[in-house]
Structure 1
C-alpha cells in the first residue's frame, strides 16, 4: 500500500438534513446544487461523510490519471457492498481487453463502418415531427451494433435500447437500490442486462465456431487476436460495455447538436456549405468546421456531465485524506463552462477550435474523459457525430420549436426536444 503523509480529514460542505443529508436538495436541482456549493466552498467540498466533489483542472486530472491505481471507475446502477479489490480485478480485465479493442478503431474497420453508417442514417432519420432523442437513440443503436457486430447484429439494437431504458430510471435517483430489492425497476434492469449478455454470448459463440476472421467489425478483431488469450467472457463483457457507452452518450450528443442547429441558422448555413463541398461519406479532414462545431457542442453539453471514482486505497487528493470506499465526483459541465478557463463560456463558438495555435487550458476539456479509463471510442464517436452532423445539414431541413430544458438527472439531455425533420427536395448524393 502506498503511504502518504497525514492530511486534513474532510473538506467543508453543506450539512443537509439530519436524516437524508443533501440527497433531497441535490435531486431537486443537481447542477444548481453543485454550482451553489462551488461558490460557497470553493474547488473542493464534502457532499457527505464518504463523498467529496472536486472542481479544479489539476484535481480532476489527478483523479482520472490515477484511476486503476488509487481510484476505480464504478458504474453499476445498483447498490452493493464496496469491494475495491473486486473492482480492481474488473478494471484489469477491462484494461487488458481494451488494449486489443483499440485496434477496432483502425482505419480499415472505421471506413467500412462509415460506409454502412450512411445507409443507417438514411433509414433511421426520416421525415416529420420527431422526438429527437428517441430518433438518435434508434440511429446509434443500429450504428453501435453495426460497428461491433456487423452481420451478427440482429436483435442487438433492441436489447441494447431496453438495457439503456432500464438504467435510466435508476440513474435518476441518488438513492441506489440493492439487486435484491423488490422493485419493478430493479427487475426490469436485471432482466434487460441478462438478455443482452445472453445475446452477446450467443453471437460470440457462433462467430468463434464459424472461424471467419474477415469480418470488418470489432468482434472480428477481438476474436482474431488469439495470441492475446481473450476469453469469450472477456469479449462479451467488453462488447456490452462498449455498446452501452456508444449508444446513450452519442445519441444524447447528437440530440444537442440538433438543438444548436435549430438555434443558430448562421452556423447551420456554414455547415451546410461545407457539407455540400464534401463527398457523400467524407473524410474528417474535409469537414474542419463541422468537427469544430461538434467539439463545441460537447463542451457546452457534455452528455456524461458528472463523473465519479471510488477510492481503492488510502490516499490523498488536493491535500485531503481519502479512505477506501470513499467517492470522488466532478462536474464536467461546470468545468467546461468555468469562466476562469473559457472566454464566453456559455456561448456556442465553434471558431475557438479552428486556430491550431490556440488550445484550451490544460485538463479543462474532457468530453471523453482521460487517463487509463479514457473512452475507447473517442475517435469512433467523433467520426460518427461529425458525419451525422454533415448529413443532417446536407439532407434535412430542421423546423419547429427549439427550446428545451436541460435535464441533469442522468445523462445531460434536452428534455422533450421535438423538431420537424424533413428531407430536402433533392437530397445530396442521389
Structure 2
C-alpha cells in the first residue's frame, strides 16, 4: 500500500538500477520483471534515476487526472515542429475537437455500414491460413476506414495502416525519446502530413457531393451546427490512426480465446444468432462482457507513461521534472487486491450492475485528459466483429506450444495462424 500523500518517504529502488543486468532481464520478460519488482518493492519504486514505477489504481488515477498539469503525456511530435508547449496545445485542441464528433448518437447512425464493412472485410481475406494478428488488423482497419470514409475508403487502407504503425510507435516509445527514433520518426512525420492532406481533399469532395452518404464523415458534415472541416478531420484522423493496431490486437486475443473455449464460443454463437440486425451492446450483453474481459486480461496498451512536468508529491514520495512515471494496465488488471479471481477469464463478471473491480483499476483505454477518445467506436467494432465471427464462421487456429503474450509497443499474441471458414448456419443467415 502507498503511504499518506503528505508524508515524504524514501522511495524503494531496484538494486542495480537500470544497469545492463536489469535491462537484460526486463527485455527478456517485461511483465514478469514488473510483477516481481512490484511484489518486492511496493506500489511505488524507482528503476534507475529517471524511472518511477507505480502500481496502485488510486495513484495511477492521480497521475492520469493531473496530466497536462503536474504530469505530461509523451506528445506524438508529428503534428508540428515547434515547441513542446505548442505541440501540446495543438494536440489537445485536436482531441477536444475530435471528442465532439466521436459521440454514441453519431456512431449509431453508422451501424448498418459497420456490419456491412465487417462482413466485407472478413470475406475479402484469402481462403487460407493467415497470420492471426495481421488478419485481425486488416478486419478492424478496413472496417473502421470504411465507417469513417465510405466510398473514399479503398485507396486509404495500405497507406493509413503504415502511418498508424509509425505514428503509434513513435508516440508510445518510452525507452527512446522521439528525436532518437530516427527513420521511423521521420516516416511518422511524413505519414501524418500525408494523412492530413488526403483527409482535406476527401472532405472537399464530400462537401460538394449532391447527396450525403452513410459514412461517419458524411454524418459529421451533415450536422446542423456545421462542424468546420479541420474539426471533422480531427475526428477522422484520430479514428483512422487508432483503428488499425490496437483494435486488431484486441480482436486477435478474442479469436484466440474463442478457439480455445468451446463453451464460451457456444454462448457467443447462441447470442449472436438470436440478436436483431445492427445489434448493439444491449442486445449482445455476453459478447460485450467477453470483449471487456479480454481487454482486461490482455490489454493491448499494456504499459503507459507520463513525464513529471513540475515538482510533485505522489504516494508520499517527491518526484522531480525529468523523471518518467510508468504504470501497467496489465498489472492492475491482474492484481488480486482489485479483482476477484483475476487469473480467470470470466465474461460473466461484467453482466451485473456493479463494476467488478476496485475504483480506477480498469484502464484498457487510459483515463483523464488523455483518455482514448476513439474507445466508443473501437469497443463497438470489437463487439460486432466478435458477434459476426461467432455467428457465421468456424475459427481454425494454429499457434506455437506454450505461446506467451509478447509485450512490446502493444501486448500481442505469439505468432499464430487462423483460417476463417464460413459455417452452414452463417451461410443460411446471409442468404436469408
Residues 415, 188 of structure 1: CA spacing in aligned structure 2 closer, same or farther, 3 A cutoff?
farther
Which piece of structure 1 moves more, 5-14 or 160-169?
5-14
Q: Give SS of 2:109's match.
A: helix
Which piece of structure 1 moves more, 360-369 or 292-301?
360-369
Q: Is the 8 A contact 1:399 1:419 kept in 2?
A: yes
Match of 1:12 in 2: 12
State the shift of 1:20 in Å: 5.8
TM-superposition CA deviations, 1:1-47 (whole Å, max 9, x none):
xxxx9874872222446766954443222212211210111101122
Match of 1:411 in 2: 410
Q: Is the 8 A contact 1:201 1:236 kept in 2?
A: yes
Match of 1:199 in 2: 198
Q: Is the 8 A contact 1:213 1:223 kept in 2?
A: no
1:118-197 matches, within 5 Å, as 118-125=118-125, 127-166=127-166, 175-176=175-176, 179=179, 184-197=183-196
| Aligned-residue CA RMSD (Å) | 3.3
**Could you tell me how far apart the structure 2 residues matched to 1:227 and 1:9 are?**
53
Residues 254, 19 of structure 1: CA spacing in aligned structure 2 closer, same or farther, 3 A cutoff?
closer
Q: Is the 8 A contact 2:149 2:217 kept in 1?
A: yes
Q: Does structure 1 residue 295 correspond to structure 2 residue 292?
A: yes
**How many residue pairs are counted as aligned between the two chains?**
422
Consecutive unaligned residues of structure 2, counting only runs of 5 or more, are none
Which piece of structure 1 moves more, 33-42 or 106-115?
106-115
**Could you tell me how far apart the structure 1 residues matched to 2:210 and 2:37 are?**
56
Q: Give SS of 2:353's match.
A: coil
TM-superposition CA deviations, 1:161-206 (whole Å, max 9, x none):
112344577689754265487x554454444444333322332344
1:263 to 244, 247, 260: 260
State the shift of 1:82 in Å: 11
Consecutive unaligned residues of structure 1, counting only runs of 5 or more, are none
**Could you tell me how far apart the structure 2 residues matched to 1:259 and 1:174 are?**
28
State the shift of 1:297 in Å: 0.8
Residues 116, 420 of structure 1: CA spacing in aligned structure 2 closer, same or farther, 3 A cutoff?
closer
| TM-score when normalising by structure 2 | 0.85
Residues 116, 69 of structure 1: CA spacing in aligned structure 2 closer, same or farther, 3 A cutoff?
farther
Q: Is the 8 A contact 2:17 2:49 kept in 1?
A: no
Match of 2:27 in 1: 27
Q: Is the 8 A contact 1:74 1:87 kept in 2?
A: no
1:219 to 209, 217, 220: 217
Q: Give SS of 1:420's match.
A: strand
Residues 426, 307 of structure 1: CA spacing in aligned structure 2 closer, same or farther, 3 A cutoff?
same
1:84-95 matches, within 5 Å, as 84-95=84-95
2:370 to 368, 373, 376: 373
Match of 2:357 in 1: 360
Match of 2:323 in 1: 326
Q: Is the 8 A contact 1:291 1:386 kept in 2?
A: yes
**Could you tell me how far apart the structure 1 residues matched to 2:297 and 2:22 are?**
26
Match of 2:394 in 1: 397
